[in-house]
Each structure stands twice: as structure tokens, then as C-alpha cells.
């Protein structure tokens, strides 16, 4: 025991003082606190018969059929779901016996995500988070913008004046990154802006302000997950060849649907240079195939099997031919082996590649800034909507 201030000698205790333990550091201040908590929590669940997912270690499942129950944990926030309410109540009773928990009832709000239910399905948005972001940035009363980014804007790391306080830029981009969970329409812009957080310039900050004005136009916009959707996995893959003005690397964009519901999307700069647009598209196909393989594993954890092969739509015929052709030839000998992952998936029959017209390529949203006549028709096909906006 370490004596606190005021108890420097044992004689102070003899005068009637009570021994006091001095806490060096709160558990919430320790770097390993969340890790130790999750280790303890997962150990209890596994001993209770749960299986920890290999695809997502924060996901736990137990039972089958009517007794199936799913538990998802993020630090100390937990979601429990399943077809049998009695099984869920029993699990909550068990957790209450092991930990001090607060039951918030039916899921309506989780980590900034707002969930609304109807006979049409589940609607996911971040309206309150968006409004709070606009208020903190001083844009709550601004004039709305009709596009997330000007299609004519060409951002790079060397044009424009460096801003004096870069912390504001980093803070805004960080909060916008979290907003992309429910806003696929801003994913490409935020991806682009996040590349300049080390040395942001005034031009980059102006694009951030323009994006905030766009969010003001529809703060409640989100995703609708249809209740009548099929279990067919469909994906759209695209690439913008040499899009990065600094490195001339291409940008990969893809989106994955379960039936009519958008469940995954990404915009990311490729790691290496591509010698042709076909090679850039081929790399995008490989990334999409990898994402679909991960989603297949998650579906198996949920005891759901997709009825047929996953479909990937691509608007580049050359990339499709390369993926379907198992012959090693001059055009692909310089491509890394891991990119041929898509070829293996096509050969085994788990993925089918289909052509699509460029104007119907939904992944275009994640590779470049689009004009309004191209952006909004594509978003309407992704079940991106705003329940609070009148039709």
C-alpha cells in the first residue's frame, strides 16, 4: 500500500487516520484497457457456448434455426439479435449476472448510427451526427450545395497556400470519415481529402467547406435495407486510370449489394502504377473479389448461404477477358500474382464477370467526382434515400 499525501509516517495512522490506497492511473487511461476488457468479455461468451467469428472478431454467434442468436460488441457497446426473443432475454440475463449492463431496449441508436424500421425494411442514417458536425463547424445555417465536389476540381499536394491551422482540417476530415459509414455519396471526396492531412492547403479546405454545404442539403440521407431483398450477391467494380495527380496511381472503386441492399463500398488509391486502363480495372476486380470472399464468410457466420455465384459487373472488356483467360501472356506477365486472385475465383465458379455499360456503372461514384446528371441517377439505384425529405 502506498500512503497518500498527508500520511507520510505510520504514526499518522496511529492517530486515528484511515489507510487509503492511492490509484496511480484509472483503468480507462491505460492503453490496454479496451483490449483487456474485450479479452475478458469474449472469454465469458466462449465459455457460454458462443463461437467467435474468424471474419470479424467482434462478432459472436450461438445456436441454429430458432435458437440462433448473434452478438456484436464494440468496446462496451453491444447489439444482440435473433429470431427468438426468449433466447435473447436469457442471454441478457446471463450477461447481467456477469457484468453491470444497461438494457436500452429495441435498437434505435448505436455509435452515432440511427436505425428506423418499417414494413419496407431498415433505414440507416447519421442525421444527428451530421447536424452536430455542421453546428460545430459553423455551417448549420449555410447555403446548401447540390454536389459533394465540383467535377472540375483537380486536387494535388503542391498547389495553393498552406493553411495556418491544419488541426481544423484534420479534425473535420476525421469526422467526415466516420460519416461515410452511411453516406456512399461522399466516400470518394473524403477519400481524396484524407490524402492531404499532412500538409493541407487552402484549396483542400475549400473543398471540405463545399462538402459541408452539400451535407446541409440532406443531413438525414442514408441507406434503406429492403425487407424483401434476395440473397444474390452483386458487385460493381471500376477504376479511374492515373487519377492521382501526384503519383499517377489509379483509384479503385467498388460497391457490393445483397439483393437490392448496398452492404459494402470502397474508394482507394491503388498501391502500384498501372501501365494501362485494363490493368487498373483488373486490379479493381481483384479487390472486389477479395471483398466478396470476406462477405461470403460473414454470411456463413450468419448461417446464410448465397444461392448462386456472385456477379461482378465491369465496364472494361479487356479486364474481363484477362480474368477469364487462364493463359499467361505478354499483357499480364508484369502483374503481381495476388492480382490473379480474381482469375482463380472465376475458374472455380464462385464469381461470374459480366459487362455493363459505362453509364450504368454504379462504382463510378467511388472513383471520381461526377456531375449531378450522372451522380443522382446512380445513387437512386443504390437505395440511397432521405426519409425526411418529401418525395
DSSP 247-314: T---EEEEEEEETTEEEEEEEEE-SS--SSHHHHHHHHHHHHHHHHHHHHHHHHHTT---SS-EEEEE
Quickly list DSSP for 89-104: HHHHHHHHHHS-----
Domain ranges in the chain are 27-105, 125-217, 229-356
As a whole-number percent, the residues of the chain with pLDDT over 90 amount to 42
Dmax over CA atoms of the chain, in Å, equals 90
How many Cβ atoms are within 10 Å of 51's Cβ, its own excluded?
Answer: 13
Q: Tell me which residue of 154, 246, 251 sits closest to 207, measured CA to CA.
A: 154
Question: Which pLDDT does position 346 carry in this prediction?
Answer: 85
- Helix, strand and coil content of the chain, in percent to the nearest 5, comes to 40, 20, 40
Residue 2, pLDDT score: 44
Measured distance CA(232)–CA(269) in Å, rounded: 28
Q: Could you give the dihedral angle defined by the CA atoms of residues 273, 275, 280 and 286, in that order, rounded to the nearest 10 degrees?
A: -80
Note the pLDDT tens digit of each residue in 246-287.
Answer: 788 899 999 999 988 999 999 999 888 887 888 888 889 999
| Backbone torsion region of residue 272, taken as left when φ is above 0, otherwise alpha when ψ lies between -120 and 50, otherwise beta | beta
Give dist(CA 263, CA 310) in Å, integer: 14
Which sign, positive or negative, has the C-alpha torsion 336, 342, 346, 348?
Answer: positive
pLDDT digits (tens, 9 = 90+) for 107-128: 899 888 999 988 888 999 999 9
DSSP string across 149-162: S-TT----SSSSPB
- Quote the pTM value: 0.84
Residues of the chain with pLDDT under 70: 1-32, 326-339, 388-391
The pairing of beta strand 59-62 with beta strand 69-74: antiparallel
CA distances 109 to 101, 209, 250, Å, are 17, 27, 37
Cα 231 vs. chain centroid, distance in angstroms? 21
Topology of 229-356 in CATH? Nucleotidyltransferase; domain 5 (3.30.420)
Predicted pLDDT at 192: 93
Amino acid at each position: 500500500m502506498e500512503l497518500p499525501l498527508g500520511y507520510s509516517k505510520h504514526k499518522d495512522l496511529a492517530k486515528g487516520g484511515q489507510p487509503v490506497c492511492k490509484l496511480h492511473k484509472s483503468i480507462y487511461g491505460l492503453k490496454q484497457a479496451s483490449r483487456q476488457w474485450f479479452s475478458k468479455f469474449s472469454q465469458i461468451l466462449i465459455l457460454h457456448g458462443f463461437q467467435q467469428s474468424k471474419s470479424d472478431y467482434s462478432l459472436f454467434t450461438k445456436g441454429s434455426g430458432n435458437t440462433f442468436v448473434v452478438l456484436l460488441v464494440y468496446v462496451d457497446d453491444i447489439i444482440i439479435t435473433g429470431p427468438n426473443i426468449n433466447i435473447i432475454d436469457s442471454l441478457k440475463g446471463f450477461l447481467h449476472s456477469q457484468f453491470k449492463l444497461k438494457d436500452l431496449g429495441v435498437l434505435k441508436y448505436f455509435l452515432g448510427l440511427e436505425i428506423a424500421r418499417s414494413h419496407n425494411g431498415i433505414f440507416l442514417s447519421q442525421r444527428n451526427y451530421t447536424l452536430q458536425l455542421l453546428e460545430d463547424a459553423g455551417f448549420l445555417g449555410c447555403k446548401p450545395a447540390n454536389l459533394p465536389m465540383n467535377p472540375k476540381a483537380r486536387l494535388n499536394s503542391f498547389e495553393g497556400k498552406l493553411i495556418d491551422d491544419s488541426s481544423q482540417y484534420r479534425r473535420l476530415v476525421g469526422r467526415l470519415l466516420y460519416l461515410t459509414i452511411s453516406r456512399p455519396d461522399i466516400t470518394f471526396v473524403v477519400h481524396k481529402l484524407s490524402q492531404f492531412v499532412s500538409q493541407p492547403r487552402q484549396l483542400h479546405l475549400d473543398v471540405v467547406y463545399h462538402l459541408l454545404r452539400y451535407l446541409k442539403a440532406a443531413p438525414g440521407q442514408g441507406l434503406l435495407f429492403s425487407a424483401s431483398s434476395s440473397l444474390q450477391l452483386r458487385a460493381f467494380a471500376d477504376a479511374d486510370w492515373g487519377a492521382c495527380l501526384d503519383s499517377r496511381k489509379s483509384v479503385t472503386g467498388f460497391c457490393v449489394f445483397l439483393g437490392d441492399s448496398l452492404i459494402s463500398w470502397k474508394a482507394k488509391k491503388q498501391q502500384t502504377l498501372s501501365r494501362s486502363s485494363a490493368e487498373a480495372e483488373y486490379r479493381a476486380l481483384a479487390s472486389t473479389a477479395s471483398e466478396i470472399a470476406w462477405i461470403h464468410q460473414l454470411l456463413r457466420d450468419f448461417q446464410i448461404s448465397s444461392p448462386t455465384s456472385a456477379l461482378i459487373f465491369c465496364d472494361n472488356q479487356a479486364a474481363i477477358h484477362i480474368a477469364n483467360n487462364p493463359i499467361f501472356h505478354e499483357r499480364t506477365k508484369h502483374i503481381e500474382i495476388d492480382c490473379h486472385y480474381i482469375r482463380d475465383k472465376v475458374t472455380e465458379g464462385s464469381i461470374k464477370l459480366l459487362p455493363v455499360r459505362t453509364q450504368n456503372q454504379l462504382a463510378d461514384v467511388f472513383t471520381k467526382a461526377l456531375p449531378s446528371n450522372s451522380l443522382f441517377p446512380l445513387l437512386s439505384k443504390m437505395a440511397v434515400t432521405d426519409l425526411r425529405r418529401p418525395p
